[in-house]
Amino acid sequence: MSAEIDWAALRSAAIEAMETAYAPYSNFPVGVAALVDDGRIVTGCNVENASYGVGLCAECGLVSELARTGGGKLIAFDCVDGKENTLMPCGRCRQLLYEFSAPGMLLNTVSGIKTIDEVLPDAFGPRNLEEYRG
């Protein structure tokens, strides 16, 4: 699947999203981009808040954009900081991505391309519930 992914286009979209981040408190803008199984690219950026705990991670914006524009499953993901360096999503955001991932979703990580199952091993998600209800 990695050969089909235009990682440069994803990186460019993530950088563009990062440039719109609202990060006046941490001065740490983050942008993300993901390829959807129908060919769309969805993006998100972090949005901070003076009440720190209610700030939104870039991944939250991305999955909201995914839902808003028709849903689907994420097949590839990239995340950058304000210096355009690759970032690894935190555990909470990995779980958020897992919820909307296609099996074998690829992530560009600080240690290379990895699958969602490699970055969140033994994860619990919608597929577990489907099997249980099955």
* Domain region containing 25: 2-133
- Which DSSP string corresponds to 110-125? TTEEEEHHHHSTT---
Return d(Cα 104, Cα 74) in angstroms, integer. 10
- Beta strands across the sheet bearing 41-45: 41-45, 30-36, 74-81, 101-109, 112-115
3: pLDDT strictly greater than 70: no
* CATH code where residue 60 lies: 3.40.140.10
Give percent above pLDDT 70 in the chain.
Answer: 98
* Torsion angle of the four alpha carbons 105, 123, 57, 51, in this order, in degrees rounded to the nearest 10: 170
Once rounded to an integer, what is the mean pLDDT over residues 113-124? 96
Give the H or E element holding residue 46.
none
Number of separate domains in the chain: 1
Q: pLDDT digit string (tens) for 28-68?
A: 999 999 999 999 999 999 999 999 999 999 999 999 999 99
Where are the strands (E) in 18-94, listed by range?
30-36, 41-45, 74-81
Considering Cα of 21, then 24, then 30, then 34, what sign does the dihedral take? negative
Q: pLDDT digit string (tens) for 61-100?
A: 999 999 999 999 999 999 999 999 999 999 999 999 999 9
**Positions marked catalytic:** 59
Q: Helix (H) and strand (E) counts for the chain?
A: 5, 5
Closest residue by Cα to residue 107 from 96, 95, 120, 116: 116
6 band by pLDDT with thresholds 50, 70 and 90? very high
pLDDT for the residue 104: 96
